[in-house]
A and B are shown apart, each in its own frame.
Chain A
Amino acid sequence: MQGWLTGERLKCAVGRGLTGERLKRAARWPGRAGLLIAAVPLLLALLGPLIAGDAGPRTASFTLGGGHWLGTDFVGRDVWRQILLGGQSVVLVALAATALAYAIAVPLGLAAALTHRAWLEELLMRPLDVLLAIPSLLLILLVAAVFSPGAAGLALLVALVNIPDAARIVRAAASEAAARPAVEALRMQGETWWRTAVGYVGRSALRTFAADAGVRLTGVLYLVATAAFLGVGVEPDAADWAVMVDRNRTGLFVQPWAVVVPALLIVALSMGGNLFFDALLEREDGENRKPPRPHPKPFRQYFRYFRYFRYLRYFPRHTKEGRR
């Protein structure tokens, strides 16, 4: 048997122990970076209103200079001041709407995933499908016309628009975990529905929920802005980053800062937040991470890749390259 010779030649020590700390350190910086990136918009949102000061006089719209270091916006207000003021509603309304959507979608989706009664699932999910089929814009238009909801109403509305979507994703993400023997065992223990559903099934699909919620939050921001333009919720000229991006876009080539700065803040918020949660989940299940050190594989494995040369050289199909 010639195998050993190869083995001998490639004999290689696992040697140096690789510890968890190094992994943690590796996982730490993106988390920090995410937090840092998100911190800028968050701090601005939090502290901005405190240092915004009084509104100065308006000047012409979309101008630069004249004491406005980020220029003026579409109605001649100071962009910097609008930015200082505009984070709070973004963060509050969007977060509230997303949280609300999830607060309803998660139990709904989990209930649909966990039930064994087909009728219950249809009862929970099919009406939502009806909502899905109606363009959200039409819904918002209607509400804009019939009611005149304030910020809270807006959060509700935007949440409503997002529920069917989120519930479907929750359901899809949870359905595999919901059928695991572990769930049967939990039921056997008489575990409460919430602990089973949220504590186990939800926990298993947490990464998917986080990914969806993180992206959804950004979508919600702009939905709020669209709604504002249609007269729902915040005023159409409100100090709100998403509204600013939306309303100042006509001046993009005259006074780009009025669009670019709030857009960047939103990008930072979304990117930073998502990266942070990525890193957090990474650390959370650190013990499910890849093993510390892959097994030292014989060098021969790399010969495998030679087979790809076949395609370059137009070798006949039956070149000898079977695994063994």
Chain B
Amino acid sequence: MSAAANVVAEVDDLRVEVGGRAVVDGVSLRVRAGAVTALVGASGSGKTTTGLALLGAYPPDARVTGTVTVTDDLVGHVPQHPAAVLNPARRAGALLADIARTQVRHLPRRERAEAAEHRVTEALSRAQLQDGAALLRRYPHQLSGGQQQRVVLAQALLLGARVVVADEPTTGQDALTKRRIVAELTSVVQQGIGVLLLSHDLDVVRELADDIVVLKGGRVVEAGPAEQVVSAPRHTWTRQMFAPQEGTRQMFALREGAAGAGPRVGAAGAEPRDGAAGAAPREGASGAGLRTGPVPDPLPVLEAPVPEVPVLEVQDLTAHHRGRGSRRTVEVLRNASLRLQAGRRVAAVGRSGSGKTTLGRCLAGLHRTYEGEVLLDGVPLPRSLRDRTPAQLAAVQYVFQDAQASFDEHRTLLAQVARTAIRLRGAAPADAAREAGELLAEVGLGEQHLHSRPGRLSGGELQRAALARALLARPRVLICDEITSGLDTVTRRGILTTLDRHLSEQPDLALVWITHDLSTVTAADQILVLDAGNTVEQGPANRILTAPRHPFSVALVEASTGARVTVAGA
């Protein structure tokens, strides 16, 4: 087999120009059967645009030149925002079932239903949706972000297309699931399918990619076999991107980023304490309070008395989903408790679907059906954000996991972001716009983005805009739900720096950090490990990351660091 005969998709000198700006400029790449071509690059560098070209989709009003060739009319696609391709009016499994139907037409009519169901089940398990069949009967909005992503992945796997464009297929997954997905993708590729992988997750890229194409500002800066690009990057940008992870594996990215940022650097202030180990508190920081749910936990539950009133306190939060007018419920979060002092950061980690988003939404007033209390400065917060005063709204801000869906598609970015300052802080429109512009610039959104509508921004750009929108409220509690999932390492570092700066400039800002990326949680004061709605472990970051006790935490940390961890206290 010659190299050419292997090619299942080819992009040659693609140039996509929108409004006079070349979003993609002369990109060429090939996807070979049985191989993975990874397209990496900074957020906004044109990855998604290139990937979509393989599907024959271009931005509206775009001027397109170049050649795109695909050998098959079917191309699997795992988009960056999986929620967008799930039909809100149909159950999550609708498209899956239909795809399976088209594949069993050759069978006798009687056998079709069973065969189709079998195919769907298989695709689900390959996409790591264990509880698949039940999840498929739900509507998309009843799935967690990671579950949505896996449903879409299952579609692509079921389709059996010879070309698959996977745009950040693992961002919403926890380390454990991610590993399995990666393994699954490997086996898929081995069956002779060509995958175009667009990802920021360099671990995944490293593991999967046969070829790597590095984009910067819409241009290819480097391309070649994976080993070569990873081990001997020629372009500075590539080096920058791949370099820091070597050795540290990104574990202390936040701390490193913060080190250069401001005086109130993480190491001292955010040094986690291990209550169980009885280490002396440093510089009087009492850290975040710690309580665990009813899950058996050998750890002592409470720390020494806390002098200051926590800015946010969650007591025995049990959240469930329900419809209108009924008492029947589905519990998705059980007895979660946490205390958050000003200036502290607490991270919530756990399996996809374990209730992290639900926790964040309960705090933010976006999820009302829970038992327990959420106190802001000791005062209970109204359950629904509709009942919160502007001050309360401003105090607790939430950055949505699905940034794209959280923007009004009809208004420009700046106009939307600036409203936060106007409404919640009473800023004059002009001041608000200026401030919003500055903040957006700080997170890396330039003039050309400010006056665009959300549909014209890349996934990472939207995530950053969503962060800016929340920050503009000058919140006291900022809940960030996977806000770095769509960012390349460099941009991510920049964002963490920005956050750090805000934390230092606003001493009363506390952070709830929901993530799958354990490398970003090292600077947290406290980590909450969730599994299937239970808090299985809760404690200082350092301790949990280095000496997790619960088997689940152990597995999680192992999966994300790739190293075995000794189980403390076990």
Q: Which A positions have Cβ atoms within 8 angstroms of B? A: 1, 3-4, 6-8, 10-15, 17-20, 23, 116, 118, 176, 179-182, 184-192, 199-200, 203-204, 286-298, 300-301, 317-324
In the complex formed, the residue of A with least CB distance to B425 is A190
CA–CA, A289 and B55, complex, Å: 17
Q: Would you call B228 an interface residue if the criterion is a C-beta within 8 Å of the partner chain's C-beta atoms?
A: no
Tell me if B102 is interfacial: C-beta within 8 Å of chain A.
yes
Complex CA–CA separation, A203 to B410 (angstroms): 8
User: From DSSP, what is the main secondary structure of chain A's interface residues?
Assistant: loop
**Interface residues on chain B, size class:** 35 or more
Given contacts A4-B71, A293-B64, A322-B105, 13 further A-B contacts (CB under 8 A): A13-B66, A14-B67, A14-B68, A18-B64, A176-B88, A181-B402, A181-B406, A189-B469, A191-B423, A292-B61, A295-B53, A295-B54, A318-B108
B6 touches A294 (CB 8 A): no
Give the residue name and chain of the A residue nearest to B418 (CB).
Answer: A189
Type the 1/0 row for B277-315, where 1 means its CB is closer than 8 Å to any CB of A: 000000000000000000000000000000000000000
Contact indicator A301/B73 (Cβ below 8 Å):
yes
Mark B residues whose CB is within 8 Å of A: 1, 4-8, 10, 14, 17, 33, 53-74, 88-89, 102-109, 141, 160, 162, 192, 324-325, 364, 366, 368, 384-386, 390, 393-394, 397-398, 400, 402, 405-410, 419-420, 423-424, 453, 455-456, 466, 469-470, 473
A15-B65 contact, Cβ under 8 Å, with A182-B405, A189-B420, A323-B102: yes
| A182 contact set on B, CB distance < 8 A | 405-409
- Contact pick for A289, options B14, B60, B65, B473, CB 8 Å: B60
Closest B residue, CB atoms, query A301: B73
Beyond A191-B419, A200-B408, whether A318 also contacts B106 by CB under 8 A is: yes
Residue pair B405, A181 in contact (C-beta under 8 Å): yes
Nearest Cβ in chain A — how far from B474, in angstroms?
Answer: 13
Q: Determine the chain A residues whose CB is within 8 A of the CB of B473 once the complex forms.
A: 189
Contact A188 B33 (CB under 8 A): no
The reply to whether A287 and B325 form a contact with Cβ atoms under 8 Å apart is no
Cβ of B42 to closest chain A Cβ, rounded Å = 24
Q: How far in angstroms is the closest Cβ of chain B from A98?
A: 24
With contact pairs A1-B192, A4-B7 given, residues A292 and B162 touching in the complex (Cβ less than 8 Å)? no
- Say whether, besides A17-B65, A317-B109, A291 and B408 are in contact (CB < 8 Å): no
Contact call B70/A7, Cβ cutoff below 8 A: yes
Nearest Cβ distance between residue A116 and chain B, in whole angstroms? 7
Identity of the chain A residue whose Cβ is nearest the Cβ of B83 in the assembled complex = A181
Closest 5 CB pairs of A and B: A295-B56, A3-B71, A20-B61, A17-B63, A7-B71
Q: What are the residues of chain A within 8 A of B410 when measuring CB–CB?
A: 200, 203-204
Point out the residues of chain B lying under 8 angstroms from A301, CB to CB: 73
When C-beta atoms are compared, the residue in chain B nearest to A17 turns out to be: B63
| A181–B400 alpha-carbon span in the complex (Å) | 8
Contact of A295 among B55, B107, B419 (CB under 8 A): B55
Task: Pick the residue among A1, A23, A116, A300 that contacts B73 (CB under 8 A).
Answer: A300
